[in-house]
Amino acid sequence: MLTPAEGINPTADAYALEIRSLLKQDDVAAAEQRSARAIELFPQSPIVLAARGDVLFRRGLMADAEDQYRAALKLNGSCAHAWLGMGRIYSAASRRTDSKEAYNRAHELDPADGDAYYYWAVGLPYPQNIAELEKHVATFRDDAERERHEREYIDFLKALAGRKVWVPVKQPERAELKLQAVISDSVPRPRSPLSGAQAVLPAADSRVRGYSLQVRLNDKANASVMLDTGASGLTISRKLAEKAGAIKLSEHSLEGVGNSGPAKGYEAWIDKVTVGEFEFHNCHVHVSPQENADYDGLIGTDIFDEFMVTVDFPGRKLHLEPLPKAPDQPPTSAPANFTQIYRFGHIMLIPTSLGKSTRGLFVLDTGAFTNSISPQLAQQVTTVRRSDVPVKGVSGNVTNVFSADAAVLHFSHFSQPNESMATFDVNGLSKDLGTEVSGFIGFATLRKMKMIINYRDGLVDFDYRP
């Protein structure tokens, strides 16, 4: 790694290279320090501004990162790395056309840049995408985990062979699906989401872990799958996959919270999935080695992304309505009451603040029961203590769990007081996504709300009525 030495007139390019190298190593603190110094020395350098944008993006400060990329392009419209940064911003904000154009521009300007090459290759049609991704993984080196992800993705694309997936065969204009309570004896007694006080709930409701939908697979197997805003598509167990006659496509590692490493699952093909009035053909599903006594799998609300999705937890219903007419131009701000969310694969992140100056991105995750916060953010606003509360995620049990004293989460147009929150390291997830995950907003908070999601435009709103 090239490190600019103080006192020998380091160049802007040398600083930018060092900052990007530090981010590749996930040394965010050092990258932050060097980018601040580079900005002091080269405030009008497009490549330094773009590198500073990369640091802010990794820290989860999306608006600030976008400001840096735009400032770089204002100085030099041919700054490839600034176009790459804008492509990542657009992608996270669900501006797919703009994102693809920005990635194409970055690759055109600097075809030797490995990151620009990768994002450009992903957007190509089949089979060009496979050919270029294979060239990328053979040419550009990265850490072992990222290379494994890329190889798994290539294998998956080969197995799909360009086939369209989750093709709607029966799809009403609007629909209302009933949600069934998922009852678990292991659920802690929840607190009222917007007051922090102990919830007064019926005995059965106090054990509600989430809500589920009924699905039928290949006209062979019925399943109860928990609705999970932190998941994507359909995830089922190996036992259910075998019962439904699912055909294995490729290996797939399921990763998330936990310290046991990736769960070894696979991608599978199911000819037909029925959910209420909906019928989908040519479906790929995630198959997990894990079994759960309370439900048969997980279903993401994103399978209905062609609709305005309202998850009405108090009413135990899922409402699906036509989306509003798409704007001719991307709006400069979110519509009234709606909040811009940032999507990274199946993860939905919402800007959240604690106090006046501390902010981060929190996962909207009905698959997580309670709210939690990263140690880095918690230490800025409250006292952190060791805890023996068990926490388990997709990647097994979490070690080194702490508890953060009283803190108030502000998201969208709501405030959520918490007497305490679980605190544990999620740096692995942050590194994988490429942006900082500061915590989770879980089911115990969201269960008292209606959650309205517009996947097309990357928007979310909440309706809470006590």
Reply yes or no on whether the pLDDT at 23 is more than 90.
yes
Domain-embedded: residue 204:
yes
User: Can you give the CATH number for the domain in which 42 is found?
Assistant: 1.25.40.10
Domain-embedded: residue 333:
no
User: Can you give the CATH number for the domain in which 271 is found?
Assistant: 2.40.70.10
Residue ending a domain, choose from 125, 160, 195: 160
User: What pLDDT, in 10s, does the model give residues 53-67?
Assistant: 999 999 999 999 999
Q: Average pLDDT of 325-335?
A: 79
The structure tokens listed for 434 are 């490429």
Return the axis-axis angle of helices 46-58 and 62-75, rounded to nearest 10°: 170
**pLDDT grade for 384, boundaries at 50, 70 and 90:** low
User: What pLDDT, in 10s, does the model give residues 1-22?
Assistant: 445 544 445 899 999 999 999 9
Q: Which of 347, 300, 339, 299 is nearest to 457 (CA)?
A: 339
User: Do 74 and 189 belong together in one domain?
Assistant: no
Q: Is the peptide bond before 324 cis (omega within 30 degrees of 0)?
A: no
Spatial distance between the Cα atoms of 131 and 209, rounded to a whole number of angstroms: 44
Q: Average pLDDT of 59-77?
A: 97
Spatial distance between the Cα atoms of 460 and 228, rounded to a whole number of angstroms: 15
Which of residues 289 and 219 earns the better pLDDT score? Answer: 219
Q: Could you report how far apart the first and last alpha carbons of the chain are, in Å?
A: 56
The structure tokens listed for 29 are 């603190």
Residues 6+ apart with CB under 8 A from 329: none
Residue 403 has a pLDDT of 63
User: Do 24 and 154 belong together in one domain?
Assistant: yes
Q: What percent of the chain has pLDDT over 70?
A: 85
User: What pLDDT, in 10s, does the model give residues 118-131?
Assistant: 999 999 999 999 99
User: Do 189 and 230 belong together in one domain?
Assistant: yes
Q: Average pLDDT of 314-320?
A: 96
**How many other C-beta atoms lie within 10 A of the C-beta of residue 329?**
5
Torsion sign across C-alpha atoms 64, 68, 74, 77? negative
User: Do 40 and 77 belong together in one domain?
Assistant: yes
Residue 366 has a pLDDT of 92
**pLDDT grade for 258, boundaries at 50, 70 and 90:** very low
Residue 326 has a pLDDT of 86
Q: Which of 69-78, 415-424, 455-464 tops mean pLDDT? A: 69-78
Spatial distance between the Cα atoms of 424 and 95, rounded to a whole number of angstroms: 32
Task: Kindly report which listed range (28-32, 163-167, 348-352, 443-447) carries the lowest average pLDDT score.
Answer: 443-447
Q: Which of 265, 270, 455, 289 is nearest to 364 (CA)?
A: 455
Residues 6+ apart with CB under 8 A from 423: 372, 373, 374, 375, 378, 384, 387, 401, 402, 403, 404
| Total residue length of the chain | 466
Reply yes or no on whether the pLDDT at 389 is more than 70.
no
DSSP per position, 106-155 = HHHH-TT-HHHHHHHHHTSPTTHHHHHHHHHHHHS---HHHHHHHHHHHH
Q: Average pLDDT of 297-319?
A: 96
User: What pLDDT, in 10s, does the model give residues 421-460?
Assistant: 778 888 888 999 999 999 999 998 899 899 999 999 999 9
Number of folded domains in the chain? 3
Residues 6+ apart with CB under 8 A from 195: 417
Residue ending a domain, choose from 294, 312, 330: 312
Residue 411 has a pLDDT of 92
Residues 6+ apart with CB under 8 A from 383: 404, 405
Q: Which of 186-195, 307-316, 350-359, 382-391 tops mean pLDDT? A: 307-316
User: Do 223 and 358 belong together in one domain?
Assistant: no
Which of residues 90 and 142 earns the better pLDDT score? Answer: 90
Beta carbons of 281 and 169 less than 8 angstroms apart: yes
Residue 286 has a pLDDT of 94
Residue ending a domain, choose from 95, 128, 160: 160
Q: Which of 203, 199, 182 is nearest to 191 (CA)?
A: 199
Spatial distance between the Cα atoms of 313 and 293, rounded to a whole number of angstroms: 22
Range of the domain at 392: 339-464
Residue 346 has a pLDDT of 87
**pLDDT grade for 369, boundaries at 50, 70 and 90:** confident
Task: Kindly report which listed range (337-346, 420-429, 456-465) carries the lowest average pLDDT score.
Answer: 420-429
User: Do 131 and 29 belong together in one domain?
Assistant: yes
Reply yes or no on whether the pLDDT at 40 is more than 50.
yes
User: Do 135 and 215 belong together in one domain?
Assistant: no
Which of residues 436 and 400 earns the better pLDDT score? Answer: 436
Domain-embedded: residue 4:
no
Spatial distance between the Cα atoms of 405 and 354, rounded to a whole number of angstroms: 13
Residue 144 has a pLDDT of 86
User: Do 237 and 376 belong together in one domain?
Assistant: no
Average pLDDT across the chain, whole number = 87
Residue 413 has a pLDDT of 87
Domain-embedded: residue 328:
no
User: Do 454 and 347 belong together in one domain?
Assistant: yes
The structure tokens listed for 419 are 């007497």
Which of residues 2 and 353 earns the better pLDDT score? Answer: 353
User: Do 108 and 181 belong together in one domain?
Assistant: no
User: Do 356 and 378 belong together in one domain?
Assistant: yes
Domain-embedded: residue 319:
no
Spatial distance between the Cα atoms of 463 and 314, rounded to a whole number of angstroms: 11
Domain-embedded: residue 258:
yes
Domain-embedded: residue 381:
yes
Residues 6+ apart with CB under 8 A from 425: 374, 375, 400
Q: Which helix (H) or strand (E) holds 281?
A: strand 278-288
Domain-embedded: residue 2:
no
Reply yes or no on whether the pLDDT at 388 is more than 60.
no
Q: Which helix (H) or strand (E) holds 74?
A: helix 62-75
Residues 6+ apart with CB under 8 A from 143: 24
Residue 205 has a pLDDT of 58
User: Do 156 and 185 belong together in one domain?
Assistant: no
Give the three-state DSSP class for 311: strand
Residue 216 has a pLDDT of 98
Residue 302 has a pLDDT of 95
Q: Average pLDDT of 137-166?
A: 93
